[in-house]
A and B are shown apart, each in its own frame.
Chain A
Amino acid sequence: MIPTSALTVVQSLRYAVPELAMAVGALFVLVWDLLARGRARRVGVFAVALVALAVAAFACVRQLAVTPRLPLPAVLFDGQLACDSYACVFRLLFATVTALVILAAVPASPRQKGGEGALAEIVVLLLLACVGMSLMAMARTLLLVYLAIELVSVPSFILAALRSRDRAGPEAALKYALYGSVASGAMLYGMSWIYGMSRSLVLSEIAERVVSMTKEQGHLPNAFVIGIACVMAGLAYKIAAAPFHMWAPDVYEGAPTLVAAFLSVGPTAAGFALLVRFFREGLGAQAAAAEPRAAWGILAGSLAVATMTIGNLSALSQTNVKRLLAYASIAQVGTMLLAFAVFDDEGVAALAFYLVAYCAMNLGAFLVVLAVGEGSDGDESVDAFRGLGERAPAIAAAFAIFLVSLVGLPPFAGFVGKLYVLLALLRAPSDYHGWYWFLACACVANTALSLVYCARLLRTMYLERAPEGERVSVAPLHATMALLLTVPTVILGLWWGPLYDFVSQRVAVSP
């Protein structure tokens, strides 16, 4: 995909309708929150946000139907953003995820969100973070990579702090902010090295420089290695990959459950979109010759194995459900990194499919935790799930489906995702066949590890007796949303052809 010419700012606005809609919606929400009073204020905030996200989603869908009026791929804003079908798929995913999270915020009681006034702020921050995530998927220059990451990070810091009832919120936010700032600083430092070597901020021009210098020197220049390593620090922090994952459990535990849900799904997916584009366009990893590609494979594979193993091993001993889900998410990120480590179209397609399935599963799991937390008056430990099979059978069944899907057992979406990941690994280019087989075996071992703590949760829900025995009272909306999210989880496990074809065709746009 080599664009012939970049569109000017005015010409690009047509493509940027999703982001504009969300930004305008965010501003509108702020204004509405200031001027309106009473019930209309609450309803208006959510209505405006959901309408903005609906407009964004529609615009993405329209762009995906490549028409002569909106030809894809297009280079926007004088070469800063790339709007192609790959980016549009992810923008659609982000809009959907943000809409679901905002919808789940509707029945929030004032007590939990630190006063009724905070509701609009949450919506605004979510919308702005969504704008940032869309920019992450479209970023074409180092400058916009950094700006987009910051646009997602800063609202996330504030969102994590919103649980002002106890110390946990601000502590989590502070940890997140400090970690995030250091990581972004390291990333910026790495970017400066890369800029120094390639004399350009544009990813495709950096790739040309990388390829030509590799050919000259016979190996990747050390300066590039240092730069890329530092940039990886920032990107790995965003997706919570080891060894830059330490912030995740504390932040997930301290933030409100809904915010933790959003953080586990949104920025992770955006981080992966950016990671794939950075390596594909910025480093030419996919089109590279055998030897540097093997080096990328070993680097990414080691990262993946470390992430999976640390995530699963740490999850074994957790007693707080949110922390456990945080470590489980880290393990899932490790599996997705395996798909990323293959560096070809099949790997990217597997990654994209897994991300869609992961969004459904993880959001659903966190919604169940939110629902149970409400019913048990804020108790977030595993004990709150005791005997849930009897007290709230529908939610327990939903949580069981999400957990089994996260492990990767048929007939759920997680199994199909793992299937595609394993297939991509086994069909990897045969130069370093043995390494990819080792990664596949590591995936197998980690699946069994993840079963241990998932089975323990299932056992707590179904095989242990609750202390009282009364039914749990949950907001019907949260329970219903969790139940409805099981539908894509089950459907994608039985009939995944259409979605996989849709995603893989649009995501595999090779340069």
Chain B
Amino acid sequence: MNLRRLSSSSAWLPLVGWLSLFALLALSIAWSGRAVASPIGAPPSASASASVPAAPPLPHRPIVALSTADGARGPLVLTARDGAYVAELTIADEGGEPLIVSRVAIRGDDEDVRAPPRLSARFSDGSATTATIAPATSKHIVVTWTPERNARTRQVLAHVVITSNDEQAGEVAMGVRAQLASVAPFFFDHLLSCLTFVPLLGALFIVLMAGFGRGDDRSARTIALVATALQCVFAVWLATLFRGDVTRLDGNDGYQLIEHAVWVRSFDVEYFVGVDGISMPMVLLTSLVSFLGCVASETITTRPRGYYALYLLLATGMMGVFVALDLLLFYVFWELVLLPIYFLVGAWGGARKEYAATKFIVYALVGSVSMLLAFLAMYANADRTFMVDGTTVAHTFSIPDLARVSFAGKHLTIFGVDFAKVVWCLLFFGFAIKIPVFPLHTWLPDAQVEAPTPISVILAAVLLKMGAYGILRINFAILPDATRWAAGAMVALGVVNVIYGALCAMAQDDLKRLVAYSCVSQMGFCLIGLGSLTPQGIAACLIQMVSHGVIAAMLFLLVAVIDDRVRTRSLRALGGLASQMPLYAVLSGLAFVAASGVPGLSGFWGEVLALLGAFPSYRALTTIGALGLVLAAAYNLGAFQRIFLGPFRDSWRTSAALEPFGGRFPDLTGRELATVAPLAVIAVVLGVWPVPLFGLIAGGVRDVTSVVDPAGPDQVASLLHRASHALALLR
């Protein structure tokens, strides 16, 4: 319906009537809300005549009340003054008895580091941490942060906790926030939000332009390219600001570039985003893959505006999953990804697109709603904590706070089974569908084969990683005991994935399906690394996620080259293409060899480190898993051999498919090269010099392993040491 048509029709009168009814209703509800003295039926006063009520007497107990300088509830923002960051908060006694403050401190201590160092809170008069406040008076508490010259933490998100003799309130807190000064503060302080929502703005722009009848397909593509390119720029900017060596001991639970605000107060939900060593590589990977996928979307010719709008929505959802640190926010972004993929596969896909799309979305939804159930169960059993502005809440969705809850100590059971184990299994079920773990993997080959190329790329490179990331971020951090209990199962499932995926890949004739099954197999190495619970294993999982993201993206883009030209992906039909398309053969060779895990390319590090990490604890399983490396070489190099090597079939020269190209296969076009080349460069660079990636993830890996495997030695540093030694020998 065109909006312009409405204004010219004669139906505006009832419409105006409806709108005014609605507006009046809304206004009257607002008015009643203000007029209500107490929400539930207040006892009616005896007389109807209004009388000035006398001032009620102060209750016979102390009542503590905290506020910032301008009377707000919080949080307290420290401002720069003489090299330090200072602010004052007011603590008042609103009751009838004196308020005895027995302790004023920054939340956290040496064992449970919460706030960055050099943050203190004292009373302004006398610099003490105790005081007595007379009724109806107030005092000031000065909060000071003196960061070091080259501080590792650039921001403070902490709480000042005040213990007093007000028993009803108990321990109260005021949120404290400070940020080191920077250029263009709006962007710097909200970099993650900009990064996440730029594609959404692009999508809204496309939809609005289409609604008002302006713009065309080319402008939609331009907007999408600009949005994803901006996202890449922000991601690179983020990487320059990020410090890989920051751990939990540096404060803020090890997260950087945090944005934390209250979203829905009545449900204890916060808008809490931040990055650490685990999410940083995924942010970079997602932005790169989104951009390259957008470039590769030039082959989409039907209804491109809808395609790009859904694509940008997908980009937002994926990025949001990797930066969200509040469970409900995480869930919202997780679900945001479902419907765009359903439509993108179901409308722009191949022969069996509707089947593949429906299968994907049903599998995914079952997984994500059981994940929601687990989130709600954890929320319902969380401990009392404070929100970012200091208000006390009985439950929370925030991942760092939930990580401190000891579910084992609560002795809860569901159907007689330990609560933590049930919740862990529910979460793992949801993530396992995404990874995908055998036997829940059957949606992946169908979805990836039927999807258009850019969506196959995104499915392989990003979506599968969301599952492994979720296990690291949520299962490992919040339920470490149950993770230790299930570690063996994870390794076993990983080995099954590796072997089963590889065997299925070897049996495929359809090239795209072969790559899809190889994704299943490669993600098995991630699971093996996760289940090993060692620093090498977890680092291996992260490296494998990045490396496989790059390699799988490259493989799908290269497969699309053949598919676009001759509409066939059958290995039996192709052969001897190296003579026709030498550049394509070189790049494909690189991709297949990288997928086999050959040293010198990025695939090596992830697979071998995972096996190395798991070997001490699971020798037999790891040995079987190592067979996967042999099988990977078999199917990858076998595919390469069947497509490129050998004689070129003469039947191709006269076939109808090659007629527009004059009887020969044209080599890579500029656009195809532009999408594959960056990935190839990254694969090579990461294979030869993985030190930057190791450095990026060091702090995060250290934090995770210290939670699940507290007694383990820190081997990542020694690994870096040994890696740099080995590289020095190579030079």
Contacts and interface: CB of A to CB of B under 8 A. Distances in A.
B414 interface: yes
B328 to A, nearest CB: 8
B379 A497 contact: no
Interface of A: 1, 46, 50, 54, 57-58, 61-62, 64-69, 71-73, 84-85, 96, 99-100, 103, 106-107, 389, 392-395, 404, 407-411, 415, 419, 422-423, 426-427, 433-434, 437, 440-441, 444-445, 447-448, 451-452, 455-456, 458-459, 462-463, 474-477, 479-481, 484, 495-497, 500-502, 505-506, 509
Q: State the main secondary structure of chain B at its contact with A.
A: helix
A475 B358 CA distance: 33
B589 to A, nearest CB: 38
Contacts of B19: 484
A426 B382 CA distance: 13
Contact of A476 (B9, B335, B339, B362): B9
B41 interface: yes
Nearest 7 A/B pairs, CB to CB: A71-B44, A65-B32, A505-B39, A65-B35, A410-B332, A444-B369, A61-B28
Contact of A477 (B14, B31, B332, B336): B14
Contacts of B187: none
A34 to B, nearest CB: 23
B36 A65 contact: yes
15 contacts: A57-B25, A61-B28, A65-B32, A71-B42, A72-B41, A409-B338, A419-B376, A422-B373, A437-B414, A463-B343, A476-B1, A476-B5, A484-B18, A484-B19, A484-B22
A445 B25 contact: no
B71 interface: no
Given A437-B415, A444-B366, A497-B265, A85 B40 contact: yes
A54 B365 contact: no
Given A54-B24, A61-B32, A445-B366, A103 B373 contact: no
B1 A474 contact: yes
A363 B11 CA distance: 20
A167 B335 CA distance: 44
A66 B32 CA distance: 9
A69 B48 contact: yes
A84 B41 contact: yes
B42 A66 contact: yes
Contact of A423 (B9, B39, B380): B380
Interface in B186-212: 210-211
Contact of B339 (A409, A480, A484): A409
Given A394-B1, A426-B380, A448 B365 contact: yes
A403 to B, nearest CB: 10
Contact of B25 (A96, A395, A502): A96
Given A422-B376, A497-B266, 4 more contacts: A46-B14, A392-B1, A456-B358, A497-B267
Contacts of B357: 455, 459
A344 to B, nearest CB: 14
A462 B339 contact: no
B264 A496 contact: yes
B347 interface: yes
Contacts of A448: 362, 365-366, 369
B11 A107 contact: yes
A303 to B, nearest CB: 21
Contacts of B677: none
Nearest to A447: B369
B346 interface: yes
B361 interface: yes
A68 B266 contact: no
B723 to A, nearest CB: 43
B17 interface: yes
Nearest to B379: A423
Contacts of A66: 36-38, 41-42
Contacts of A451: 361-362, 365
B365 A447 contact: yes
B376 A423 contact: yes
B261 interface: no
A106 B14 contact: yes
B17 A50 contact: yes
A441 B18 contact: no
A388 to B, nearest CB: 11
